[in-house]
Amino acid sequence: MTSSIQGVLPVLHTPLCDDESIDVDILQQEIDWIYAVGADGVCSAMVSEVLRLSPTERCELAEMMVSMTAGRGTVIASVGAETTRQAIQYGEHAKRCGCSAIMAIPPISVALPEAAMWDYFSQLARRVDLPLIVQDASSYVGRAISTSFFARLVAEFGAAKILFKPEASPIGPNLSDLRDQTGGKAQIFDGSGGILLIDCYRRGIQGTMPGVDLLDGIVALWRALQQGDDALAYRIYFPICAIVALQLQAGLDGFLAIEKYILQKRGVFPSVRRRTPYAWELDRETAQEIDRLLVHLEDALKGQPALKL
C-alpha cells in the first residue's frame, strides 16, 4: 500500500437548509470552489459538524463528497464514533462508496485507557482496507493521544496505512517528536485551521487540513512554502493566523461560527446556519475584526491565482 495523500486537503463545512437538512446544491458549489482554488482533495471532520449529523447523514455526506469530487482529488471521510462497531461500519461504508481514506478521532464520551484506545484504532485499521488518519482533536474536543501511541501504530501497521493529524498542544514539538520517534516515516498533516502551518511545514508535514473559509489563502501559502518564498509565505500567513486565533478562543463552535460567517461573506454559502444547539454566537465586534483581517488577506493575495464565486 502506497500513499498519495498529500497537499492541501480542506475539511468541508456542511451547508444547511432552513430545516437543518444538508443543502445539496450549496455543498456541490462548495466542493467545486475547493477544487477551483487548487486544493488536492476534500475531507469531512469536526468542522463538518459530523458530531451533529445522524448516522444516515454521515454516510450520505461521504457519498456526496465522492460523487461531487468526480475524480478531481482525494476524498477522506470522518469515521470516528463512540463505539468501535460504529466506527468500523462508517469505515466500511467509506470504502464501498469510493473514499480514498478514512479519518478517526477516538471516542469522546469516555476517557479511554491506552489498551482500549489501541483496540479501537487497531480494529479499525484491520477491518477497513483504506489508509487511516488518526486525528487528535484534543485542542477542542476529546483528550490528547501520546506520541508514543502514534509511533506504536506506525510500527504495527506501517506508515502507508496509518497517518496522523495531531492537534494536541504543543503541536510543533509533538510533531517533531513523532517524526523523530518513527525515523521520519510518519506521514503527518497540519490542522487547527493552519494557525501553525509554517512552523509545521518546516518540521516535515505531508500536507495540511484547514477549513474551507480561507482556502485560497492556504493554497497560496502552501505553494509559497514549496517554492521557498518566505516573504510571500509570511505575508499571507499573518492574517490567516490572526483569524484562526479568533476561532480558537471559542473551541469547536468558534471555528464553526466564524468559518461559516466567512463563507457567507465570500459568497460560497448563503447562510451561517449551524446545527442546534451550540454554545457560542459570533458577536459584532469579533465580526468587525474578521472583516478587517480579510482585507489584509486579500491584499496579501493580490497577484496570486485566485477564483471567487
CA atoms of 240 and 238, how far apart (whole Å): 5
CA distance 139 to 26: 29
Q: Is 209 annotated as a binding residue?
A: yes
The three grid cell numbers given for residue 274, joined into one nine-digit string: 449551524
Written in H, E and C, the secondary structure of 249-296 is CCHHHHHHHHHHHHHHHCCCCCCCCCCCCCCCCCCHHHHHHHHHHHHH
- DSSP 8-state class, residue 22: B
Distance between CA atoms of 297 and 217, rounded to whole angstroms? 7
Half-sphere exposure of 131 (CA within 13 A, CB side): 26
Measure the CA–CA gap between 261 and 13, rounded to whole angstroms.
11
Alpha-carbon distance 168 to 135, whole Å?
10
Instruction: Write out the binding residues for pyruvate.
Output: 209
Instruction: Write out the binding residues.
Output: 209
